[in-house]
Chains A and B, each alone.
Chain A
């Protein structure tokens, strides 16, 4: 070890959370409280279906521009990535695991695209269509046979790029 390497300085934070939380007693987070919190999320599932419709509309707006050749393709790809990323991050919380899986696949696909042509547009379209199917049919979990087939088909599309 040479002498000119900076030494790490260790600092004790002025306060920790332990001073502000009580352990046990009324109001503490026990298994019941966690189960209730999971119920709160489950009760938001209807709201989620509205949220995801909004997301889908945003994605379709970018996609339509892309189809028409309007706007900067890179920016539109980025818009689609951002929405797909949000959809990936939310679906599973409400039991829509397939939406999370397809959102992820669309992200992986779009980040590999360096141009937008008919092939790329077709690839994105099948993902958007699959998302619409999930919402319309309210396919929860892995979507059963239909969902698995959907995902497998989209994986094959993703492998082509």
Chain B
């Protein structure tokens, strides 16, 4: 495991549950993070981003009025977004495969299944540090490259599009829940 000093990173935690925010904040402080800002929903978080230079956003899915997915899309594609490239970790209890894919397609970097642990959270942060990904604008999508594995022989334009058009199984994805390891395998595959 690589050891990184996180003390200079600014984290924004977005969750409507104050207990969950307290838990994530406690873990981040224990990992040496100094600067943590909290927001209770997507709209609040978007406002905070205007003056808070977040290096990483940890974002819940279920929130109102603006939920996690809408917030991610606003950050990525909003014309007034302060930082469309900011790494985002989606933190959620929704771990069905179709949900994981939906989060990925909204433009998140990492997906972290609740309940969380310090080790699981750090592993997602480490993944963002160690695997900086280029961003891709393709059709309506703007976000980190969803193909995590380098494919040096690939010269075609849009694998995702051909997956959607030719795969034919988008609506048939398994709705059973995935473990964090299965999620990582799915996203890295």
Say whether, besides A23-B4, A82-B62, A6 and B139 are in contact (CB < 8 Å): yes
Say whether, besides A1-B156, A10-B145, A17 and B30 are in contact (CB < 8 Å): no
Q: Is B19 an interface residue (CB 8 A)?
A: yes
Tell which of A6, A29, A44, A51 touches B5, judged by Cβ atoms closer than 8 Å: A29
- Partner-contacting stretch, out of B42-50, B97-105, B130-138, B166-174: B130-138
Q: A90 — which chain B residues lie within 8 A by C-beta? A: 19-20, 23, 114-115
Taking CB atoms and an 8 Å cut-off, the chain B residues in 18-45 that contact chain A are 19-20, 22-23, 26-27, 29-32
Are B115 and A21 interface neighbours, CB within 8 A? Answer: no
**Can you name the residue of chain B whose Cβ is closest to the Cβ of A93?**
B115
Are B128 and A38 interface neighbours, CB within 8 A? Answer: no
Distance in Å from the Cβ of A62 to the closest Cβ of chain B?
16
How far, in whole Å, are A52 and B168 apart by their CA atoms in the complex?
Answer: 43
Q: B87 — which chain A residues lie within 8 A by C-beta? A: 17
How far, in whole Å, are A92 and B112 apart by their CA atoms in the complex?
Answer: 14
How far, in whole Å, are A9 and B139 apart by their CA atoms in the complex?
Answer: 9
Task: For the complex, count residues of B whose C-beta is within 8 A of A.
Answer: 49
Are B4 and A22 interface neighbours, CB within 8 A? Answer: yes
Are B136 and A37 interface neighbours, CB within 8 A? Answer: no
Q: Is A104 an interface residue (CB 8 A)?
A: yes
Are A20 and B9 interface neighbours, CB within 8 A? Answer: yes
Tell which of B4, B27, B157, B177 touches A8, judged by Cβ atoms closer than 8 Å: B157
Q: Is B116 an interface residue (CB 8 A)?
A: yes
Taking CB atoms and an 8 Å cut-off, the chain B residues in 80-118 that contact chain A are 85, 87, 92-93, 114-118
Q: Is A18 an interface residue (CB 8 A)?
A: yes
Are A34 and B135 interface neighbours, CB within 8 A? Answer: no
How far, in whole Å, are A33 and B6 apart by their CA atoms in the complex?
Answer: 12
Q: Which of A8, A36, A85, A100 gathers most chain B CB within 10 Å?
A: A8
Sample 22 A-B pairs with CB under 8 A, ordered by A number.
A1-B156, A9-B137, A11-B134, A11-B136, A15-B85, A16-B132, A20-B9, A21-B9, A23-B3, A28-B4, A29-B122, A34-B118, A34-B122, A40-B26, A40-B118, A41-B118, A86-B17, A86-B20, A90-B19, A91-B115, A93-B116, A94-B115
A interface vs B, CB < 8 Å?
A: 1, 5-18, 20-31, 33-34, 36-38, 40-41, 44, 47-48, 51, 82, 85-86, 88-94, 100, 104, 107
B interface vs A, CB < 8 Å?
A: 1-9, 17, 19-20, 22-23, 26-27, 29-32, 55-56, 62, 85, 87, 92-93, 114-119, 122, 128-129, 132, 134-139, 145, 156-158, 161, 177
